[in-house]
Structure 1
């Protein structure tokens, strides 16, 4: 019998023990938002929040209700730019990283 692990649990466990992986998830979420893929970015960010600071701590850091944050980062969530900035800021602070956007020429 083959034993498998839940993908989300695997990601959560690895992000919790591997700071480089957690930082890569944050970078990927930011890149996806900037490249017009907010749906996937929200889901990655949700997994990262679960793996790093948790929604209760995020709620305290952002001064927003935990339930609202869960909705914002759900499949059908629609967070405002202010809320996204607050979420990214709290996760960035937790991971001890800075985010820098750079333009890449297409030619």
Structure 2
């Protein structure tokens, strides 16, 4: 008996605002710019790239390119896509342990 497998796609699991926020937050903690843009691209695909393109005033093709793991989106692209998917950037201080 052979086991049939299929590719796992995170997009299938980004089905609630809480899951989306947790996913993006985890990726931001990692700090890898390529991973961050690709993860935002995952969320845009989950929400529908055509709708995100419409809401941001950008073409689907340019969003796919910018939000790929090889893309290098500008800050205004990231901010507009995050806004379209219902998120915003925020800044928090890094917890630093004080010497005793």
Query: TM-score per shorter chain, which class?
Result: 0.7 to 0.9
Count of residues paired in the alignment: 96
Structure with more helix by fraction: 1
Contact 2:82 2:88 in 1 (8 A): no
Listed as ranges, the gaps of 5+ residues in structure 1 are none
TM-score between both structures, scaled by the size of structure 1: 0.75
- Bigger CA radius of gyration: 2
Q: 2:38 aligns with which of 43, 48, 51?
A: 43
TM-score between both structures, scaled by the size of structure 2: 0.80
> Do the aligned partners of residues 42 and 31 (structure 1) sit closer, same or farther apart at CA in structure 2, a change above 3 Å counting?
same
Q: Deviations over 1:31-85 (max 9, x none)?
A: 44xx3x111112211111111x211101111001111001001122111111111
Tell me whether 1:5 sits opposite 2:3 in the alignment. Answer: no
Contact 1:26 1:45 in 2 (8 A): yes
Tell me whether 1:102 sits opposite 2:92 in the alignment. Answer: yes
Contact 1:28 1:41 in 2 (8 A): no
Q: 2:25 aligns with which of 15, 24, 27?
A: 27
Listed as ranges, the gaps of 5+ residues in structure 2 are none
Root mean square deviation, CA, Å: 1.9
1:54-93 alignment to 2 at 5 Å?
54-91=48-85, 93=86
